[in-house]
Structure formats: C-alpha cells, structure tokens
Amino acid sequence: MLKRPGIEDQITFLYTEDLNQAGDFYTEVMGLELVLDQGMCQIFRTRKGAYLGVCQNVKKQKDPRRVGVIFTLVVEDVDGWYRYLETQEKVALQGEPKVNEKYGIYHFFLQDTDGYTLEIQRFLDPDWDKAIRGN
C-alpha cells in the first residue's frame, strides 16, 4: 500500500463575475494580503499555509450546488498523489497530471464522493515561492 504524500499548502478557489471588485473586497474589507496575482486569478493569504484564490469566472458550471468552488492542495509530489489516489476506492480522477502553462502549475483534478472538485497541484511559477516563503 502506498503512503499518502505530504501537503504543503491549501487554497480554496472561488469564482467571480468581477475580479476587480472581489479583489478590492478581500484586500480592503477583509484585510487579506494579496500574495500572487495571476491575471485571471488572485491568491490571498488567510494564514500560514492557507489561501483564498479568487478567479474570473469564464464558464458556468452546471451543478448549482458546486458553482465556483475548487478545493486545492498544494503539494511537492503531484505524481505521488496521483499514484496514491489511483489505489483508493471511491476516487473519480479526471485525467492524469499535466502542466498548465497559463497558470504555471502542474496539476490534476478529481471529484469527491459528493461531486465537489478537488485539485492537486504544484506551482511551477517561482513567484509562488517568493510570495509565500520569501525564497
């Protein structure tokens, strides 16, 4: 049996019709620090290791119970997580890990037992490490 790989950080992504308005709300009203602006997504620190991502909604999801939410685990070993989840029952993997050049990430998606989308990812963009760890 494979050992579950570690988790470094967590991001909950929400989707918005107006990214500028949402960004202003999370910085000015909620007082969150913007740590990474990816153009179509802005990532805010809520506490050490925990982040809120707000992205411009470019497509409507069909299931209204899950509109605009993705729970993301930021990990070093994306492939290890994929191999681990392949061995688990009740896991609906949605494709193999791949590079998303637009956001500078290596990732894959799966669904939990209620149909919510989860993402396992590693940032390839060095700005992520600079923003959150000062590296």
Q: For residue range 38-61, what is the model confidence (pLDDT) as tens digits?
A: 999 999 999 889 999 988 876 655
Q: Please report which confidence band the pLDDT of residue 66 belongs to, taking 50, 70 and 90 as the band edges.
A: very low
CA 91, distance to chain mean position in Å, is: 18
DSSP annotation string for 39-62: SSEEEEEEETTEEEEEEE--S--S
CA distance 131 to 104: 14
Q: Which residue has the tokens 């930021």?
A: 74
Distance CA 32, CA 22 (A): 12
CA separation for the pair 51, 9 (Å, rounded):
8
Output the CATH code of domain 9-133.
Answer: 3.10.180.10
- Please give the Cα distance from 129 to 107 (Å, whole number): 17
Over residues 87-100, the pLDDT tens digits come to 887 788 999 999 99
Mean pLDDT, residues 100-121: 87
Query: Structural domain boundaries of the chain?
Result: 9-133
- Decide: pTM greater than 0.85: no
